[in-house]
Structure 1
């Protein structure tokens, strides 16, 4: 008969929860271990190797006892007295592990046994989960079991993605344990929390979802638990026939210029006008689907039945949206998608609804009202509607700001130079492809004043040497289509060209030069590492060679570029030397758009004419560009005020 094959401990499934099933025999054995009795003697004295596999060898016995001791110490830290916890932490710091006496061992076991009660929502996660997992969850602000359940319900199947080194496997093990404790906790983990994402398939099939009027339109608390509303984005939205607007009171009787049988057709016809303007299309889609969902679900009316008082009610709704319309950001195919995004500091109740509403700024409220008024005006013009109720609704009151743009994130000259030097140094390292990509992006925005959207769509075929350059001072120019579909040409610095060439070399593409009027083509900035997510696979389809290096060169999205820059800046804040505390704070607040503002402030400081800066930045008005002049004047006055203060201090001495 063949000997049974031993199993390495490393191949066993990882246990994420703390063991609670120790017997009196285990506690007696552990007491002997604490008193320095060898594990082999303990195994022979207290255990039967045939019944207790961990007593088969002295190594296995020692591993079992150490694991038990670690568990009891963690329970004591979570549930014991402050004096005991302080002693254990001090012992661990000094010796690397707790050194227990007979007295402290008794206190540890008593604390552990007191903690051997059913889990409760208020229990700290450290009392039930292993230390490594506990540390990672606490880093996300999760302290108790109740908060962990709420976090999972709020985030859904992908709740674990924002937590470092949790992963799908550990996440499913945690959720499985939470489900087994639902009765004791008195909390329910939503059904889709541990869904498994299949390759290239969304978690939820993109079928149409019918929304219906809510039985509790006020959203106020009732005797019964409030159920999560069924909401869906515009492309998946279906409404009952009675609320479709097919027979709306405001429907025009004249010949209609568009083929629209109901309100959804009319909305899609209006949005189709902006199919070539993706940013505008995205913004208008958001406003119209919010309004349509509000009308059907909370107002119980079709869009073509709404009157002035309904529009006024929606204007009030925008000041403080119903919490059930608010949630964290999810993919549009997810049942957890909500029309309004919950602020990062927002929390969720046990039923999954937001515990507080998102607050729209007055500017956002006014934008929504104007966008809806424009849509209704178009529907009247094409004879779908007979009248526009939004014409009788005033815009929300907005305080006119003295400074339209927030340019305080622009980097000072010294910090800008330090950042450029650090990017050059890190880009010179072997395998630093991400650093070379982020250096090219930052210099393209910081030296040419591009918006992040403009940097994302910039292409190689639109970059060429300028006729006005010389051998001593070569100048390249880039033609882009920016805000408002206005085309402009911006200069590109020699440092940016060096960074772009290195970035293209990482992509195994020849940056080249213009020859015979046929320059290389492709996005100036493109990912060198393609994430293995469904969205990335769809965006960067593999070429015929089947290699990711020969992908379809889709380039970065504006949001993807912003995330890349933000992630690399955070690393610099943590690891970059020779930074003062103020510089670390400034760099930590910077985002992609900060480098465009850096170009504006630095070029004005170097006495570049304001009208030239205006043309490079693409401002429609010179008045907008003069904000950078004011910022430089403010900086000068602050520096001089500091100088005066230092002089006064010297005089007092």
Structure 2
């Protein structure tokens, strides 16, 4: 697919082109005199004169008669035009097609003949980084790549190396198969391009992980002082905790801060101690992920940039790391990549603020990192792995206390919330609207029950049941969820949400009301109807054992997946809904899954639902947190009345 078409294969030729360019490769074995003869033919010189002027009938059989000469020139012209259509510019291709449509064959001028010749010669040349991708890839593929701002082969190779194995996901209608074919062709042309496609791109995978990620990566110190004057620092060798290996001298096996007393954990070096500490949070995935990030950042900084073992660090080292967090080394910062990718970096540029061209963490993130490290070191002291905790003498970074930490301004106003629900109902009633029905069920579950996105993603059908406090006239359903801090609670579920869930379950070919008869299969309330064709997705949604197991949507959404679904469908709604004004479009465009939790809280407080009731539904540990919504409603009332006063005075 990605390779050049057979008609543009390189053929050996000798001589010099009529354009004066030496060593030009001509397609299909055409020679310099062939191009000169064809130019004369385009200028309406008779075939008999061309045969007499440029050819020897004994050496060139096609010049024996005017008829054979004309057929030869027409064949050559057709070949060059086809190559120009495939490899030339869009303007040239459109001109040639229009000429063929009008005259039955292309009518060329001296200028268009030169353009056709150059395009054909490019088709026979070796690929070069500056060549347009349209000269080497099929037009349909080239158009999609150009839509991402990729115009040359050099830019395409750089894009692959920068984005890694998942690069194709951002390009519409470029799937894994086409991406692999493109990379395969680029690998074959590496010598001609003098560019290298990184080894992990489309490498062989096992259980969703490239085999190039199987081996441990040993990191070594890299001091800026060792660089020569005027030299630029090179790319560091870094790896996440699970693939990390440290030289023995920096492993902490014989470090100064190691405790001499009996150690409560089996840890021979710092990596063992880090893993023992993280093992405490194996049942808390979000906490485990956050602490892993902070500890591996600190460990990599200590070994690579500080040149010390973790258990050799003192207070001045900890102060230096606190300064490092304000502006991390650019070599520690990069785009988000899978942890098994060689492009992975400890700090993600997408989550870092940018000031003066340098990435930096927010003050809150810096304080969180210091406190997480202080807690980890305190535990190592408690289990007698370390003799002391140097972080005890380090102050937290200064943070400005915000009056309102939660972005409750994203809550939708009551009128817009009603418009959104009506629009979702209308779109869900259309044919082939399974995704709309899925997003309606998700948004109603969030907006009518005040769930966090993580809670909605893990909500199970076996935990949803009619409440004993309901009546025939006013039935009440309740859903039991486990929320933040592993605290369980029961939240009410509205009748509108039940309607949305029934429709979503019908799309999944399951009977929602079987729950009441205790006949429903165990499973998530919300589950994807379309599973991405990736190894990770297929492995996550696979049910059963063995290679013949079918991928079924029984695993439910992840919290991030649910957020992406809502964001994608809301964007589509903003682009296609005519009943929304500009302000409504901006509000819906800025909304995410968590905005609907704020919407529930704000509207329930405004409708005089007791604050302690709202607190229990939301799962807030403190009533003070819930009271923020009371203040927000008061502010909204005052702002609306102030606007009314302004309009009244202007009349």
Tell me the equivalent position of 1:303: 310
d(CA) in 1 for partners of 2:377, 2:458:
32
Instruction: Compute the displacement of 1:472 (Å).
Output: 1.5
Q: Structure 1 residues 581 and 114, CA, compared in 2 at 3 Å: closer, same or farther? A: farther
d(CA) in 2 for partners of 1:43, 1:279:
80
Q: Structure 1 residues 648 and 140, CA, compared in 2 at 3 Å: closer, same or farther? A: farther
Q: Structure 1 residues 432 and 244, CA, compared in 2 at 3 Å: closer, same or farther? A: same
Tell me the equivalent position of 2:488: 487
Instruction: Compute the displacement of 1:213 (Å).
Output: 2.1
Tell me the equivalent position of 1:587: 588
Is this contact kept in 2: 1:460–1:523, CA < 8 A? yes
Tell me the equivalent position of 2:49: none
d(CA) in 2 for partners of 1:371, 1:321:
18
Q: What are the equivalent positions in structure 2 for 1:427-576 lying under 5 Å apart?
A: 427-512=428-513, 521-543=522-544, 551=552, 553-576=554-577
Instruction: Compute the displacement of 1:211 (Å).
Output: 2.2
d(CA) in 2 for partners of 1:462, 1:17:
64
Tell me the equivalent position of 2:161: 153
Q: Structure 1 residues 369 and 12, CA, compared in 2 at 3 Å: closer, same or farther? A: closer
Tell me the equivalent position of 1:7: none
Tell me the equivalent position of 1:166: 174
Tell me the equivalent position of 2:346: 339
Q: Secondary structure at the match of 1:479?
A: strand
Instruction: Compute the displacement of 1:320 (Å).
Output: 1.6
Instruction: Compute the displacement of 1:646 (Å).
Output: 4.1
Q: What are the equivalent positions in structure 2 for 1:341-420 lying under 5 Å apart?
A: 341-343=348-350, 358-420=359-421
d(CA) in 2 for partners of 1:363, 1:432:
42
Instruction: Compute the displacement of 1:192 (Å).
Output: 3.5
Is this contact kept in 1: 2:458–2:524, CA < 8 A? yes
Q: 2:247 matched to 1:240?
A: yes
Once the two structures are superposed, residues 123-152 of structure 1 have per-residue CA deviations (whole angstroms, 9 ceiling, x without a partner) of 776687665444433433445555433322
Moved more, 21-30 or 457-466: 21-30
Q: Structure 1 residues 555 and 44, CA, compared in 2 at 3 Å: closer, same or farther? A: farther
d(CA) in 2 for partners of 1:610, 1:434:
35
Which runs of 5 or more structure 1 residues have no equivalent in the other structure?
A: 1-10, 36-41, 56-60, 78-86, 348-354
Tell me the equivalent position of 2:278: 271
Is this contact kept in 1: 2:83–2:119, CA < 8 A? no
Once the two structures are superposed, residues 222-249 of structure 1 have per-residue CA deviations (whole angstroms, 9 ceiling, x without a partner) of 6667543222211222212111111111
Is this contact kept in 2: 1:211–1:238, CA < 8 A? yes
Which runs of 5 or more structure 2 residues have no equivalent in the other structure?
A: 10-24, 45-65
Q: TM-score, normalised by structure 2?
A: 0.80
d(CA) in 1 for partners of 2:580, 2:540:
38
Q: Structure 1 residues 70 and 510, CA, compared in 2 at 3 Å: closer, same or farther? A: closer
Q: 2:232 matched to 1:231?
A: no
Instruction: Compute the displacement of 1:109 (Å).
Output: 6.0
Q: How many residues are aligned here? A: 607
Is this contact kept in 2: 1:369–1:395, CA < 8 A? yes
Q: Structure 1 residues 173 and 465, CA, compared in 2 at 3 Å: closer, same or farther? A: closer
The correspondence for 2:84, drawn from 38, 51, 68, is: 68
Q: 2:343 matched to 1:327?
A: no
Q: Secondary structure at the match of 1:343?
A: helix
RMSD, aligned CA: 4.3
Q: Secondary structure at the match of 1:408?
A: helix
Moved more, 390-399 or 457-466: 457-466
Instruction: Compute the displacement of 1:549 (Å).
Output: 7.1
Q: TM-score, normalised by structure 1?
A: 0.80
d(CA) in 1 for partners of 2:152, 2:351:
19
Is this contact kept in 1: 2:412–2:599, CA < 8 A? yes
Is this contact kept in 2: 1:16–1:129, CA < 8 A? no
d(CA) in 1 for partners of 2:2, 2:192:
28
Tell me the equivalent position of 1:291: 298
Q: 2:220 matched to 1:213?
A: yes
Once the two structures are superposed, residues 41-74 of structure 1 have per-residue CA deviations (whole angstroms, 9 ceiling, x without a partner) of x99765549xx9x77xxxxx86963662574443
Rg bigger for which structure? 2
Q: 2:629 matched to 1:628?
A: yes
Moved more, 416-425 or 11-20: 11-20
Q: What are the equivalent positions in structure 2 for 1:108-119 lying under 5 Å apart?
A: none
Q: 2:277 matched to 1:261?
A: no
d(CA) in 1 for partners of 2:507, 2:211:
37
